[in-house]
Structures are given as C-alpha cells and as structure tokens.
Structure 1
Amino acid sequence: MRRRRARALPGDRVRPPFTGAQRFLLAGSFLITLGSFAVLPYMSVLLHQRLGMGLGAVGFVLAVASLIQFAGGVVAGPVAARVGLRRAMLLALALRTAGFAAFVPGLTSPVLAVGALLLVSAGAALYLPANKAYLVAGVPEAGRARLLSASGSAFNAGMALGPPAAAPLVLGSPGALFACVAGLFALVGAGHALLPPEAAARPPDAAPAAGTQGPGGRAAGLSPFLVTVVSVYAFMFFQHYLALYAVPRTSAAFYGAVLTGYAALLVVGQPLLAERVAAMSYPAALRWGFGAMAAGMAAIGAGGHAGIAVGGALICCGEIVLFLKNDLEALARSASAPAAVFGRQRLAAGIGAFAAGVVGGQLYGAAEAAGSARGFWAVVCLQCLLLPSALLLRRPARDRTGPRAEAAQEVPGP
C-alpha cells in the first residue's frame, strides 16, 4: 500500500537546509576560532615570560591589538564592497596565516612577535564582518537568525576547545604549535578559494524578519549600535572580573568548569532560541536580556558555588538574546551592505569592552578597598536594571507611536 505524502498545514514553517557554502563557512568558523584561541589567550605569557617584555609593554601591545581587532572592523565594509566578500575573507585569512607563521621566528624576537600579533589582529578585523555578510547574503531576513546563531555556536565551540587543546604545547613547544595553527589557516583559506563569489549588497526586496519593526515603528528610536555598546559594556564586567571574584572563593578548577558549562550552554542555546529571539520586539529583547544579566550578577554577588554557577547561566541567556537581536536589528534597519553593518557592530563591541575595562577596574578596586567585593556585583546588577530603561526612555516622542499611528504607516504613500 502506497503511503500518502503528508500535506503541509498552513501554519507549518519549512526551514530550508543550509547550502554547501554555508555549511563550509560554519565548519571553517569553528576551525578558525579553535586555532586562534589555541594561542591568543596565552599571548601575555609568551610575550612576558619567553620574550622578556615588561608587563606595561605587554599590556600596551595587547590593548593596541584589541583596538585593531574591534575598531578595524569598520574597514571590512569598504574592502568587501571593492573586492567582494570571498576575496575579503581570503585577504583576511592570508594576513592571519602570515601572522601565525611569523610567530615561529618571532619567538626569539619581540619586534617580530608584536608585528605578527598585529597581522593576526588585522586579519580578524577584516574576516568576521565579511564572513557573517557572506552567510546572510541573499537570505531572507526570516532565515538570518538561524544562520547567525549557528555561526555564533561554531565560534563559541572553537573558543571553548582551543585553550585546553593547546595547553600541553604552548609553553613546551610553541614553535610547533604556531606552525600547526598557520597550516590550519592555510588549509581553511584554500577552502575559501573554492567558494562561489557572492554579492555583498543586502537584498533590497527582503521582507522584515518577524518581530522587527522598521523605521517609524515603535522601536525605531533604538539604535542597534548604541544598544550593542551598552550590551557589551554590561557583559564585560562578568567576562573581566569573574575570575578575580570566583577563584579565591571557590577554586580554579570550579571556575574552569563554570566557563566550560557557559560555553556549552552558548553552543546549544543559541540555535534553540534563535527563532524566539527573532520574533521578539526590540524593547522586549532588551528587557529580557538585561533582566537575565541583572539576575545573573545578583546571583554571583550572593556568592558560593551555586550562586556563581546559576549567575553564569543567567548571564549566558542574556548574552544570547541581546547579541543576536542586536545583529538582526542592525541588519534590518540599515541600507548598507551587511559587511559594513557587521563592521560597525564590531566597533560598537570594542567601545563597550573598552568602557567596561576602564570603569570596571576602578569599581572593583573601590569595592575591594571597602572590604565588600559583593558590592561590585550589586552595582553592576543595578546598571543592568537601569540601562534598558535609559535606552527605552531616550526614544523620541515621535517613535512612541500608538495603534492609530501604526495603522497610518500602512497606507501607501504617493
């Protein structure tokens, strides 16, 4: 007896499979981040202990490298517009391959090592915006959340596995490690050369994604660039200062387990929550995302193993909501090419991270001097509660429209 093919119901949504090029980019994103985080987290140790650079010089070099990696993202848009997304990625991977290869002779020369690090940072600044733009090129806005969340999972998986994979080699045989990483980047770059070229421009006829309100809608006054600055600013307090707080109160092993669990939750949670995040309005995403971060900061401040673990999980949920929604909104609201949009988002992230580093150091020092490190987390929690309110209140009055105004916007113009 022949089986009858099930008929699709009106409410069913068909999810198109990823293309071969998209699957390759997702796999490449994992390998690229795996290779990068096999060495970059140990850079301060290599520069200080192996090459004898002073800590002040090391801090300055790392600050410059971070500035290039984040602020340099704004160059990705013009470069991709001129040479195309595939060639932009190839150029970025060539820079990173050359940088990691230069570390092999650079292990005996501080000048070569610093130059190699700056090459790697320049390649990272150019690659990520072009990579994300290629992923979403020609994809309707409703499908972008799934791709960007999968990309985020691939990057976070590489970030989690890179440091422990390289730990046995990074101090004993760093030359062999850098040679392997350079070879990995060369292979991934060769694969990129086989990708089909893609148009860098955002499709002009793409429909708005679910939950996204365009210019003139109630959320139009929210700037994704500014929200990204504030989101990263709030998040980086956790990133920078959890170790200082958690290790003395628990153990280094427990802190490592929290970071591993955090990475695993990101990898699994991002794709699972992608469609829900895309369907949220922007104000709702801010309330949920910053609310989760505030609850997480409060839980960490409560102290103990359970508080730190629960706090990390809540902050992870906040990161998933805010970071993905910011990228989706930035794409939906801009007429620029996606590479330029993602480049500006990288710049916003860099500004937020820099501000958190400056403010957080002073704040944590003051809390410790007062004998209450928990007060630091209480202040950060309060910031997470107040920031979304400030962002929502700064919308101009014309953007706080009611049903009558929204209905009027649907009337076709002349």
Structure 2
Amino acid sequence: MADHAAGGKGLRSALSTFDGSLRFLLLSSFLIPLGSFMVLPFMSVFLHERLDMGLGTVGVVLAVASLVQFSGGIFGGALADRIGLRRTMLWALIIRTAGFVGLLLALRWPPLAVGALILTCCGAALYLPANKAYLVHGVDDERRPVFLSAGNAALNAGMAVGPVVAGPFVLSSPGWLFVAVTALFVLVTAGHARLPDLKAGQEPGPEPGAGARGLLAGVAVLPFAANALAFYLYFHFQHFLAVYAVERASSAFYSLVLLLCFTLVIVVQPLASGLIRRMPYATALTVGFTGLAAGLAVLAVGTRPALLAGGTLITLGDIVLFLKNDLEALRRSRRSDAVVFGQQRLAAGLGACASGVLGGQLYRLTGHAGNDGWFWLLAAVQCLLLPAALLAFRDRTPHCHPHDDDEGALKPHDTDGRVPGR
C-alpha cells in the first residue's frame, strides 16, 4: 500500500514538472496511435474485403509491415543521432502522413495500398526512438522511469480508443476515415515543427559506411536479448488470441480483453515505475516471465473468466519486462538514448517476427491435433525454460563491461561513461 501511494505521489510530482513541449509530446503520444489504430487494426479486413486481396497475400503484407515498424527503429535511432530529435520526428510524421494519403488514393487504385501501408510503418519506425529520447532528455535517473511510463500510458490509451472510434466506419466509409486521420497527422506534424530542437545525445553517431555493425555498436547484449525473448513470447498472445477467443466467446468479448490489457498498462505502469526501477534486473526478469507463463497457462482453460485472467497476468508481466529492459539498456549502453531505443526496437521486431513464424506453426500443429489449448501450455513452458537458459548462458559469459551486474537501481551516468543528468 505504501509503495502504491509513493508511486502515485512520484508520478504526480514528475508530471508537474512537464513543460509545454513535453505536455504536447505526451498529447502527441496519444493522438498518433489514436489515428494509427483507427486504421491499422482493420487493415487485414480492408485489404481482403475492400481491395480483394487473398488472405495469403494479406498475411505476407502484414508480416512485412510489422517487421518494418519494429525493427526499423534502429535506423530511426541512428538518424536522430545524426540530424537531431525534432527533425527526425518531423520527417517521420511527414512520411507517415504521406502513407495515409496513399491509403486514401488506394480506394481508387488498390495497388497503392501495400506501398502506403509500408510507408506508414516506416514513419512509425523512425518516430518512436526520437520521441522517447526527447521525452527523457535531461531527466535524472530517478524520474526517467516515470517519464517513460507516462509516454507508454499515452501510447496505450490511443491504441485502446482508436479501434472503438473507427470500428463503425472502416468498411462503410473508409474514405472519410482516411481523410480524418490524414488531417490529424497534418496537425500533429505542424505542432512538432514548433518544438525546441534537441540533439539526440552526447555521443557521436556511427561513422559513415559503418553499416549494421555501426548501428549495433555498443548494444547492451543482455537487455537486447531479453527484449527479443519477451516480445517473442508476448506476441504468442498478441498474434493468436483473436482466433482463440472469438471461437470460444465473441469478437466483442475479445475487444473487452484487449481494452482491459490497455487499461492495465495505462494505470499500473506509471504507478509501478519506481518499484520497477529499484527492482534488481534478474528479479524483474523472473517476475515478468513468470507472469507471462502463468497468463498463457490460464488461457488454455478457454473460458471467458480464463481469458480475462490470462490477459491480466500477461499484461502485468509485460509491464515489468518492457519497461525494465529499456531502463537496463539505457544504464548499460554508452550510446545516445535514441540509438539505445532504436536497438531495443530492433530486438522487439525480431522477437515479434519469430513469434509469428514459429508460433503460427505451433498453433497449426496443436489445432490439427484437436486441442489448441496445448498451444498456450507449450508457450507457457517456453516462458520458464528460455529465460532460464538466457540467464544461465549470461552467467557463463565473461563480463566485458565493469557495470554489467544485476543491480536494479540506475547508477549515476558518470559511473558508466554517460553524462550526469542525461
């Protein structure tokens, strides 16, 4: 109870320090996913029913788009390192706005839809590392988790509201919907043009011609691997719950489960951010992956209460994992914040992609066996075995960095090569 009260007090104290620029950035962190999720969750239906694409083609398009949106973040971080945070966000929003214009034009010329969708995902990939880095620029270690979790809460709020707003119109009036989303992005882009300019960080970007090796230079290996593993396991839930839940309940009940999950992130993560910051890294990994395992196992029951309980446990696990992995990557890396966030997005993309490929085959096999509840149980077993293997491998690997220990509290940056207060 005391931790909860302290978390609420710390959250209010941190948010009270937000100036006009950061308040606008938080508002944008809500409006951008609001506009995006008025369209993107319905793209499979739109491409198949409105543009007559085969479901096999739709699946390939969405897989490529997801990989671009997540893994492309590493290029967004590198770009922010070179040209600055504000300019990167501006270019990202211009690209994404062009993508929504392309979706509008695709109503007349359907082949444009694929390129337009990829364009919106490229914009998202470029935007998020710069957005996160701008949000925590100059913030001390103690308040950094609160700032990050406030941004995550705004993001999840937009993701929750977008589908509810757009659901009635996406098939009946997609043209007006795309016009509205495009107008929203134009306004948000204009607002970003008025933000003060900030550099991405104190460290220089990769040398010209360094390529992928430069982009991954200085990567915090354990948080990178743990983030990829967390997204791989979490996306079993994200990718395949719809098929499982709609069959046993209804599409409306599936929407209720998602709304519950978004609400938990919005409410719980900012309040728990201080506790997560202080938690030793190995403890956070244990708590997070155990939550995922318990939630996935509960889903195997297949009843409506089990779907709600499973979604709750999975979300509580990912609240700990996703925030702690980012914080630990920032603590261990000497690279700028934007590059670190980009590297973590690459890990997320690799994990989500692997989940789609391997998880899809596993779901198909368990379905053919006549009991797809086994899919969730096998995923739960992976949540226990794979993190243990990761930590065991890490314990046998010599530490090349003097501060790669499991101490959970963020150290002052002057102890690991970063400028204090950055």
TM-score relative to the length of structure 1? 0.86
| Structure 2: distance between partners of 1:299 and 1:72 | 34
Question: 68-77 vs 337-346, which deviates more?
Answer: 68-77
* CA apart distance, 1:191: 0.8
In the alignment, what sits opposite 1:310? 309
| Structure 2: distance between partners of 1:202 and 1:268 | 33
Residues 314-325 of structure 1 aligned to structure 2 (within 5 Å): 314-325=313-324
Letter in 2 for 1:284: T
Q: Does structure 1 conserve the Cα–Cα contact (< 8 Å) formed by 2:220 and 2:332?
A: no
Deviating above 4 A after TM superposition, structure 1's stretches of 4 or more consecutive aligned residues are 12-16, 397-400
* CA apart distance, 1:64: 2.2
Q: Secondary structure of 1:139's match?
A: coil
| Structure 2: distance between partners of 1:244 and 1:178 | 27
| Structure 2: distance between partners of 1:56 and 1:307 | 31
* CA apart distance, 1:221: 9.0
In the alignment, what sits opposite 2:40? 40
1:233 aligns with 2:260: no
* CA apart distance, 1:399: 5.1
| Structure 2: distance between partners of 1:46 and 1:314 | 32
Q: Secondary structure of 1:170's match?
A: coil
In the alignment, what sits opposite 1:379? 378
* CA apart distance, 1:175: 1.1
| Structure 2: distance between partners of 1:122 and 1:103 | 14
Bigger Rg, structure 1 or 2: 1
Q: Secondary structure of 1:394's match?
A: helix
The 1:221–1:390 alpha-carbon spacing in structure 2 relative to 1, beyond 3 Å, is farther
| Structure 2: distance between partners of 1:253 and 1:48 | 21
In the alignment, what sits opposite 1:4? none
Structure 2 residues not aligned, in runs of 5+: 1-8, 205-218, 407-414, 416-422
* CA apart distance, 1:222: 6.2
Residues 132-147 of structure 1 aligned to structure 2 (within 5 Å): 132-147=132-147
In the alignment, what sits opposite 2:4? none
Write the deviation string for residues 93-140 of structure 1: whole angstroms up to 9, x where unpaired: 111111112222221212222222122111111001110011111112
Letter in 1 for 2:152: G
1:328 aligns with 2:333: no
Identical aligned pairs, as a percentage? Answer: 54
Letter in 2 for 1:188: V
Q: Secondary structure of 1:52's match?
A: coil
Q: Secondary structure of 1:18's match?
A: coil
Residues 64-213 of structure 1 aligned to structure 2 (within 5 Å): 64-201=64-201
Letter in 1 for 2:297: A
In the alignment, what sits opposite 1:290? 289
Q: Does structure 2 conserve the Cα–Cα contact (< 8 Å) formed by 1:141 and 1:332?
A: no
Q: Secondary structure of 1:198's match?
A: coil
Q: Does structure 1 conserve the Cα–Cα contact (< 8 Å) formed by 2:295 and 2:314?
A: yes
Letter in 1 for 2:378: V
Q: Secondary structure of 1:168's match?
A: coil
Write the deviation string for residues 379-398 of structure 1: whole angstroms up to 9, x where unpaired: 11111111221121112445
Letter in 1 for 2:95: L
| Structure 2: distance between partners of 1:287 and 1:46 | 40
| Structure 1: distance between partners of 2:35 and 2:118 | 16
In the alignment, what sits opposite 2:250? 251
* CA apart distance, 1:337: 1.2
The 1:160–1:195 alpha-carbon spacing in structure 2 relative to 1, beyond 3 Å, is same
| Structure 2: distance between partners of 1:328 and 1:69 | 21
The 1:248–1:48 alpha-carbon spacing in structure 2 relative to 1, beyond 3 Å, is closer
Letter in 2 for 1:376: F
Q: Does structure 1 conserve the Cα–Cα contact (< 8 Å) formed by 2:85 and 2:197?
A: yes
| Structure 2: distance between partners of 1:265 and 1:307 | 17
In the alignment, what sits opposite 1:355? 354
Q: Does structure 2 conserve the Cα–Cα contact (< 8 Å) formed by 1:222 and 1:391?
A: no
* CA apart distance, 1:322: 0.1
Write the deviation string for residues 71-90 of structure 1: whole angstroms up to 9, x where unpaired: 21111122112211001000
The 1:221–1:161 alpha-carbon spacing in structure 2 relative to 1, beyond 3 Å, is closer
1:25 aligns with 2:25: yes
Letter in 1 for 2:316: C
Q: Does structure 2 conserve the Cα–Cα contact (< 8 Å) formed by 1:145 and 1:278?
A: yes
Structure 1 residues not aligned, in runs of 5+: 1-11, 205-219, 407-411
Q: Does structure 2 conserve the Cα–Cα contact (< 8 Å) formed by 1:51 and 1:109?
A: no
| Structure 2: distance between partners of 1:341 and 1:221 | 8
| Structure 1: distance between partners of 2:60 and 2:226 | 28
Q: Secondary structure of 1:195's match?
A: coil
Write the deviation string for residues 339-360 of structure 1: whole angstroms up to 9, x where unpaired: 1111111111111011111111
| Structure 1: distance between partners of 2:301 and 2:58 | 34
* CA apart distance, 1:195: 0.8
Output the aligned Cα RMSD: 2.3
| Structure 2: distance between partners of 1:76 and 1:188 | 19
Question: 70-79 vs 14-23, which deviates more?
Answer: 14-23
| Structure 2: distance between partners of 1:32 and 1:110 | 25
* CA apart distance, 1:253: 2.4
* CA apart distance, 1:48: 1.9
Letter in 2 for 1:279: R
Letter in 2 for 1:57: T
In the alignment, what sits opposite 1:272? 271
| Structure 2: distance between partners of 1:80 and 1:289 | 31
TM-score relative to the length of structure 2? 0.85
| Structure 2: distance between partners of 1:299 and 1:118 | 36
Letter in 1 for 2:335: S
Letter in 1 for 2:239: H
